[in-house]
Structure 1
Amino acid sequence: MTRQLAFDLPLRQSQGREDFFVAPANALALATLDAPESWPQGRMLLIGPEGAGKSHLAQIWSDDHQARIVAARDLSEAGIPALATGAVVVEDAQKIDGNRSLEDALFHLHNLLQAERRALLITASRPPRDWGLSLPDLQSRMDAMASVRITPPDDSLLAAVLVKLFNDRQLTVSPQLIDWLVTRMDRSMGTARKLVAALDARALAEGRKITRALAAEVLDSL
């Protein structure tokens, strides 16, 4: 359904498996998450740039394995026993960034899940050596984890992500505009999100359709 620009409708993000576009950039990551029985000691680290689809993959894995999802910044030692009753996803581990209480919590969560033989998936935008960890035991455990990466998007993946982002906002744009954007925008998922949000806001504020002319203006302002 085409969105009417007179109304600021809520954003509806689709995070199911059927909404995930498989491309060379993420196919290995998806295949790896679909085979947790092959993870060394039941642990896996998913690394990829901001907006690359890590959270979407984590949600798919969580749905498949009834895993609880927690942001790394929300970890606490007091909550670890309750959290570790099943498989767990810890998102954005790089945001621990040397916070000792968060490091202690992740260290104990890791050890408890390993002792209970429960799976642990961790997502991050950077490898553990770049998290600024101060706890040597946690650093060694994170460095030892098996990992899989999402690589920068190719044209087909970037186009599919743009279509999905517009659909999430109930906006309809032409395939020709999608192709035009792909050849002119910075090649990152984060840029795709910012671009679609900016186009949405500009079209709504000015009562305009999302056309190539509007897209050119927004690209120049990003």
Structure 2
Amino acid sequence: MARQLSFDLPVRTALGRADFFVSSANATAVAMIEGWRTWPARKLVLVGPRGAGKTHLAHVWAAQSGARIIPARDVAAADIPALAEGPVAVEDCDTIAGDRAAEDALFHLHNLALAEGQSLLFTATAAPNHWPLALPDLASRMQGTPTVQIAPPDDELLMAVMMKLFSDRQLSPAPQVLPYLTRRIDRSFDAARDIVERLDAAALEHRRPINTTLARDLLDNDDT
């Protein structure tokens, strides 16, 4: 069978509240985001593995609160007083550990935003007590921030995540594909993202529909 070149086409990620699937693995996190007006001390750390939906929930919160979203690595170059004038979501905070300029900026943003009566959302892959921060004052403030965790996905959530990933790529797999993949892949968000990307590429390259036969061929090839 003739093959065709595969291209990385734009992926349109849906980030609205209606696009976020709630299961037992993330229900507490969703409830905390939706109840943001009652956060203790007006701040929250949202923790979960890559692909768990932290960015999606940050956008849900931003839509509700009017918050700006900024990657932690960009805080050092930001106008902190201007940023602190409204609610702020700072993403991937654990990735700046050891970067003194970024840590100093996050510390000042934290203090100024709260002094202005604003709310703060921080996202990370680990709880703050596992961030190897160099600035003790920032570490103490992060460790004193309420934390909510997104748990590893259950079957229901894993299927919903894959369904959304396919939808973001404008793909419609056969109905049996999602249950089949859920039984075969590792129970992680990374595994879900990886298999969707690979099925997309394989379907395009080989001009085949995304069905259980294609999924089986791909996964069986991994086992050999």
TM-score by length of 2: 0.92
Task: Indicate if the aligned counterparts of 1:89 and 1:121 stay in contact, CA closer than 8 A.
Answer: yes
Instruction: Note the residue ranges of structure 2 that are not aligned, 5 or more in a row.
Output: none
Instruction: Note the residue ranges of structure 1 that are not aligned, 5 or more in a row.
Output: none
Please report how far the alpha carbon of residue 211 of structure 1 lies from its aligned counterpart in structure 2 after TM superposition. Answer: 2.3
Measure the CA separation in 2 of the matches of 1:18 and 1:37: 20
- Listed as ranges, the matches of 1:40-51 within 5 Å are 40-51=40-51
1:175 corresponds to which residue? 175
2:145 corresponds to which residue? 145
CA-to-aligned-CA distance 1:101-147 (integer Å, 9 cap, x gap): 11001000000011111000000000112221010000000000001
SS at 1:52 equivalent: coil
Measure the CA separation in 2 of the matches of 1:99 and 1:199: 38
1:16 corresponds to which residue? 16
Measure the CA separation in 2 of the matches of 1:126 and 1:144: 14
Measure the CA separation in 1 of the matches of 2:52 and 2:127: 15
RMSD: 1.8
SS at 1:183 equivalent: helix
Measure the CA separation in 2 of the matches of 1:104 and 1:153: 35
Please report how far the alpha carbon of residue 8 of structure 1 lies from its aligned counterpart in structure 2 after TM superposition. Answer: 6.3
| 1:109 paired to 2:103 | no
Measure the CA separation in 2 of the matches of 1:169 and 1:78: 33
Deviates more, 1:156-165 or 1:208-217: 208-217
Measure the CA separation in 1 of the matches of 2:73 and 2:136: 19
- Listed as ranges, the matches of 1:48-87 within 5 Å are 48-76=48-76, 79-87=79-87
Measure the CA separation in 1 of the matches of 2:190 and 2:178: 16
Measure the CA separation in 1 of the matches of 2:160 and 2:142: 33
1:91 corresponds to which residue? 91
The letter for the 2-side match of 1:187 is R
SS at 1:45 equivalent: strand
Task: Indicate if the aligned counterparts of 1:45 and 1:123 stay in contact, CA closer than 8 A.
Answer: yes
SS at 2:25 equivalent: coil
User: What is the percentage of aligned positions where both structures have the same residue?
Assistant: 52
CA-to-aligned-CA distance 1:129-183 (integer Å, 9 cap, x gap): 2221010000000000001111111111111111111111111112211100001
SS at 1:10 equivalent: coil
1:126 corresponds to which residue? 126
TM-score by length of 1: 0.93
Please report how far the alpha carbon of residue 207 of structure 1 lies from its aligned counterpart in structure 2 after TM superposition. Answer: 1.5
Would the alpha carbon gap of residues 78 and 70 (structure 1) be closer, same or farther in structure 2, given more than 3 Å must change? closer
Would the alpha carbon gap of residues 31 and 78 (structure 1) be closer, same or farther in structure 2, given more than 3 Å must change? closer
The letter for the 2-side match of 1:176 is Q
The letter for the 2-side match of 1:124 is A
Please report how far the alpha carbon of residue 37 of structure 1 lies from its aligned counterpart in structure 2 after TM superposition. Answer: 2.3
Task: Indicate if the aligned counterparts of 1:25 and 1:151 stay in contact, CA closer than 8 A.
Answer: yes
SS at 2:24 equivalent: coil
Would the alpha carbon gap of residues 132 and 173 (structure 1) be closer, same or farther in structure 2, given more than 3 Å must change? same
Please report how far the alpha carbon of residue 9 of structure 1 lies from its aligned counterpart in structure 2 after TM superposition. Answer: 4.4
SS at 2:184 equivalent: coil
Please report how far the alpha carbon of residue 82 of structure 1 lies from its aligned counterpart in structure 2 after TM superposition. Answer: 1.6
Q: How many residue pairs end up in the alignment?
A: 218
